[in-house]
Structure 1
Amino acid sequence: MTRERHHRDARFQEVLLTAEGRAAAEDLDRRSREAVTGLLAKVPRNELGRLREALATARHALTGPADPEVRMRGLEPGDLGWIVQRHGALYAREFGWNAEFEALVARIVGEFGAGHDPARERAWIAELDGRPVGSVMCVRDERPDTARLRLLLVEPEARGRRLGEWLVRTCVDFAREAGYRDLVLWTNDVLTSARRIYEGAGFKLIAEKPHRGYGSPLVGQDWRLALRGSAHD
């Protein structure tokens, strides 16, 4: 460590690390990272969520509330049940949809959970400060060159952070990398926020038809996105 008179104010001194000091600091930092990595490797995967929550609680207790952390991840145990429960509760509260909708979500989730090809089908969870607040799925459609976006959801507490756009973009990027030619989806006209996200991502409305579903008169809509740069183009 060296001390030098400040170049602008002689009343102060600058304390600088020597080359040896920087090397020692880098070595300590490396050892610290290795120690933390070793500790985390011993934690069972199904306990990582609890660990994050516990660390967040400790951080808040010591330093006060911090800006919530937002991240995207794959599925973990319990997520499929959460997707069904939150779709059922949220759509009932916001649109008055009945149990038919929750049953539909349960069938979609059940089929995905019973067997899917990870190279061609995937699901994601958006987290806010360690809590799940959003979901989306990319599954194979009837045509082998077409994927389908399903079960987009963002909790009210997380809206305004563009998580819906992030979820859709993640699904689009995966479908393109998986080699699909088209990505399609079906939604209803009352879901105006979701439709704006789809339009922003480049989806085009290709058909719509009135129907009565989930206890409400609705207009179902089919949307399609041509995946440029796919393996088929």
Structure 2
Amino acid sequence: MTTHPALVEEIRSASRTMVRELGFMRATLAATDYSPSAVHALLEIEAHLALTAAQLVQLLDLDKSSVSRMVAKLIKAGELVESADSDGRVKRLQLTKQGRRTVAAIHAYGRTQVQTALEHLNPSQQQAVAQGLAAYAHALNAHRTGEGKAPGNPVEISAGYRPGVVGRVTEMHAAFYARHSGFGQFFESKVASGIAEFVGRLDQPCNNLWVATMNDRIVGSIAIDGQDLGNNQAHLRWFILDDGCRGGGVGRQLLREAVEFCDRFGFEAIELATFKGLDAARRLYEAAGFELTHEHQGSQWGSVVTEQQFTRRRGGASHPVKL
């Protein structure tokens, strides 16, 4: 896969800024008297409860002599204690009581750094930072160690009503379509009233709602309304993702849940309404068997857009009309 050079340079520039702002250019780190590598060693030993010097070499990607000198200094400073196993061949490093206090102070310092920075971002940006940094960190590690793909998606998918879903689904729609299509108050009000009315009908077996959550925050949604179209047709509605989750497979998971629900229920067709230009969403729809069946220009949402209808028929392809 080819990565655009401008994106590479943007990430490199951001990485240099982070290194400076987090203090890694200084001789000591996290308000301690220790180097960045020593601070990382203490944190890894705390996380693993005990480590050998050889394991630290692998974890920190440092040479053996550097780790040996660093460990000797930390033992002399009273932060670590070294103990041998029963046959005396393996020596494990553990934190002393002083070391545990030092690590607690490092954690407090680090949390304050992160919390203070995150206060300058909105919740969606915070989620994007958390997800993006985790994926990038894993990718860097995978390149060095030869490991495989990134770990499983931290996003959870659940069905049914969830407190806050009406407001959050409305917020995601309003924010996205204000940027993409210039929609304003009228569109947001329509979304709010529509989703509020729909959740009151979730007790009907033909209706369902799925939300994606990350750290207990709703970051995506999709719904199947089995009542409003009639003729044994399902209406796919309120399919939206938070900016931080786009491109991570969450949309595909949500769409799969909705389509499989419709197939189990026995709907003859699924219809959805969307707008031209949402290419990533269109690729998902078409991969799931939807076809474009109608499009026209409209201004009912506050600006002129090309409205589109996609249809997925049970047991076979749709038959799109000529546009």
| TM-score for the superposition, normalised by structure 1 | 0.65
Cα contact 2:272–2:309 (8 A) shared by 1? yes
SS in 2 for 1:223: strand
The equivalent residue for 2:261 is 174
From the superposition, tell whether residues 177 and 98 of structure 1 become closer, same or farther in structure 2 (CA, over 3 Å). same
Aligned residue type for 1:162: G
Cα contact 2:187–2:302 (8 A) shared by 1? no
Aligned-residue sequence identity (percent) comes to 31
Tell me, yes or no, if structure 1 residue 183 matches structure 2 residue 270: yes
CA distance in 2, matches of 1:201, 1:92: 27
Higher strand share: 1
User: 1:155 Cα deviation (Å)?
Assistant: 0.9
Structure 1 residue corresponding to 2:245, chosen from 158, 164, 173: 158
Following TM superposition, the consecutive aligned residue runs of length 4 or more in structure 1 with deviations greater than 4 angstroms are 65-68
Query: May I ask how many residue pairs the two structures share in their alignment?
Result: 168
Tell me, yes or no, if structure 1 residue 79 matches structure 2 residue 162: no
Structure showing greater relative contact order (alpha-carbon pairs closer than 8 Å, 6 or more residues apart):
1
User: 1:218 Cα deviation (Å)?
Assistant: 0.8
Aligned residue type for 1:111: E
Structure 2 residue corresponding to 1:197, chosen from 281, 284, 288: 284
The equivalent residue for 1:54 is none
The equivalent residue for 1:206 is 293
User: 1:67 Cα deviation (Å)?
Assistant: 7.5
Structure 1 residue corresponding to 2:181, chosen from 79, 91, 95: 95
Aligned residue type for 2:252: E
Cα contact 2:297–2:305 (8 A) shared by 1? yes
- Please give the residue correspondences for 1:1-233 in structure 2 after superposition, counting only pairs within 5 Å: 69-74=154-159, 75-140=161-226, 141-228=228-315
Cα contact 1:126–1:167 (8 A) shared by 2? yes
CA distance in 2, matches of 1:114, 1:129: 26
Cα contact 2:273–2:307 (8 A) shared by 1? yes
RMSD between superposed Cα atoms in Å: 2.5
User: 1:220 Cα deviation (Å)?
Assistant: 0.9
Kindly provide the CA deviation profile for residues 67-90 of structure 1, in whole angstroms up to 9, marking residues without a partner as x. 862210122111122111221122
User: 1:212 Cα deviation (Å)?
Assistant: 1.3
Kindly provide the CA deviation profile for residues 8-47 of structure 1, in whole angstroms up to 9, marking residues without a partner as x. xxx999xxxxxxxxxxxxxxxxxxxxxxxxxxxxxxxxxx
User: 1:221 Cα deviation (Å)?
Assistant: 0.9
User: 1:190 Cα deviation (Å)?
Assistant: 2.5
CA distance in 2, matches of 1:190, 1:199: 14
SS in 2 for 1:215: coil
CA distance in 2, matches of 1:142, 1:177: 18
Aligned residue type for 1:128: M
Higher helix share: 2
SS in 1 for 2:285: helix
Kindly provide the CA deviation profile for residues 97-151 of structure 1, in whole angstroms up to 9, marking residues without a partner as x. 1112112211221221233444110011011233211000100232241001001
Aligned residue type for 1:137: A
SS in 2 for 1:184: strand
Q: Which runs of 5+ in 2 are unaligned?
A: 1-86, 90-137, 139-150, 317-323
SS in 2 for 1:216: coil
| TM-score for the superposition, normalised by structure 2 | 0.48
SS in 1 for 2:156: strand
From the superposition, tell whether residues 143 and 157 of structure 1 become closer, same or farther in structure 2 (CA, over 3 Å). same
